[in-house]
Amino acid sequence: MMLNGHMSEPDAKPRRHRRRIFEATASVSFGDGSNPRPCWILDISDSGARLNIGAQRELPDFFTLRVTSTDAVRRSCKLVWRKGNEIGVRFVQPS
């Protein structure tokens, strides 16, 4: 099912990589000069992650996920699906 131009989770393609429960505080950065916004990584795989973004309503199609505890781990992400406060992202190579 499509929601706001993105697939909702139930119709998402089968995963190639096994998900791992991660449960970590993180933030998303949009590259537009605004402050990073907090989020929570719920689970993660080699190719993507499921995040809880709280009340964050507007998200660009591409953004950077930063693990807050170290800020050394950053992944460029593409928004794939959204359902309520949760989103699914695919990790992509930075352009």
Backbone conformation region of residue 33, classed left if phi is above 0, alpha if psi is from -120 to 50, else beta: left
25: containing domain? 2-92
Bridge partners (DSSP) of residue 62 are 78
The CATH number that applies at residue 77 is 2.40.10.220
Q: With a threshold of 0.85, does the pTM exceed it?
A: no
Number of structural domains the chain divides into: 1
**Percentage with pLDDT > 70 across the chain:** 71
C-alpha–C-alpha distance, residues 24 and 85, integer Å: 16
- 49 with 38: CB under 8 angstroms? no
Provide the pLDDT confidence category of residue 72 given band limits of 50, 70 and 90. Answer: confident
Q: What is the mean pLDDT of the chain?
A: 81
